[in-house]
């Protein structure tokens, strides 16, 4: 007959003593912690990748400046270098700023980027500074 088996007809007192669902409870308790750790890892990875890309842009800018790729007088070359760096940094961070200076035959480009625009999840931004500062220097060769 289609009925409940005798083993399924247990009193609530007997059900409270069973341990069949204990793994489910542990899973539910640990799941938010695992998701939090994975979220922090993704945010940190995005910030490190953004920093690496920004350093690469600044190094390219300084390298082009140092070999004379940007033409004109000193102020025009510095302006062109800043514009070059900003054109490549703005896709990563819309509020990025860049400043290029030359002192004692060394070109230095400094950039600031908002971490909230780089790390898409933004959970790590609660714990760290909201502005990322990146700088690179290169000796002028021309």
Q: Pick the more confident residue, 18 or 65.
A: 65
Confidence of residue 6 (pLDDT cuts 50, 70, 90): low
What mean pLDDT comes out for the span 1-27?
A: 65
Amino acid 8: pLDDT: 57
DSSP code for 138: E
| Burial environment of residue 96 by CB neighbours within 10 A (0 to 12, 13 to 18, 19 or more) | buried
Amino acid 14: pLDDT: 67
* Residues contacting residue 134 through CB under 8 Å, at least 6 positions apart: 51, 54, 55, 58, 110, 111, 112, 113
Domain ranges of the chain: 21-139
Q: What integer best gives the mean pLDDT of the chain?
A: 88
In this structure, are residues 58 and 111 in contact, taking their beta carbons and an 8 Å threshold? yes
Amino acid 9: pLDDT: 61
Amino acid 120: pLDDT: 79
In this structure, are residues 137 and 106 in contact, taking their beta carbons and an 8 Å threshold? yes
pLDDT at 44 over 60: yes
What mean pLDDT comes out for the span 82-100?
A: 96
Amino acid 28: pLDDT: 86
- Does the pTM surpass 0.85? The reply is no
What mean pLDDT comes out for the span 19-35?
A: 82
Which of 60, 95, 54 shows the shortest CA–CA distance to 81? 60
Tens of pLDDT, residues 107-135 = 999 999 999 888 878 777 677 778 999 99
């Amino acid at each position: 007959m289609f009925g409940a088996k005798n083993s399924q007809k247990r009193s609530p007192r007997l059900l409270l003593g069973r341990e069949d669902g204990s793994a489910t409870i542990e899973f539910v308790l640990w799941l938010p912690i695992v998701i939090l750790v994975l979220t922090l890892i993704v945010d940190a990875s995005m910030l490190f990748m953004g920093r690496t890309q920004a350093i690469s842009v600044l190094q390219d800018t300084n390298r082009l400046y140092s070999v004379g790729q940007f033409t004109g007088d000193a102020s025009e070359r510095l302006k062109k270098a800043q514009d070059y760096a900003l054109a490549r940094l703005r896709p990563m961070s819309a509020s990025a700023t860049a400043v290029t200076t030359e002192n004692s035959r060394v070109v230095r480009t400094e950039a600031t980027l908002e971490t909230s625009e780089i790390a898409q999840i933004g959970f790590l931004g609660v714990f760290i500074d909201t502005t990322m500062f990146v700088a690179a220097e290169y000796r002028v060769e021309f």
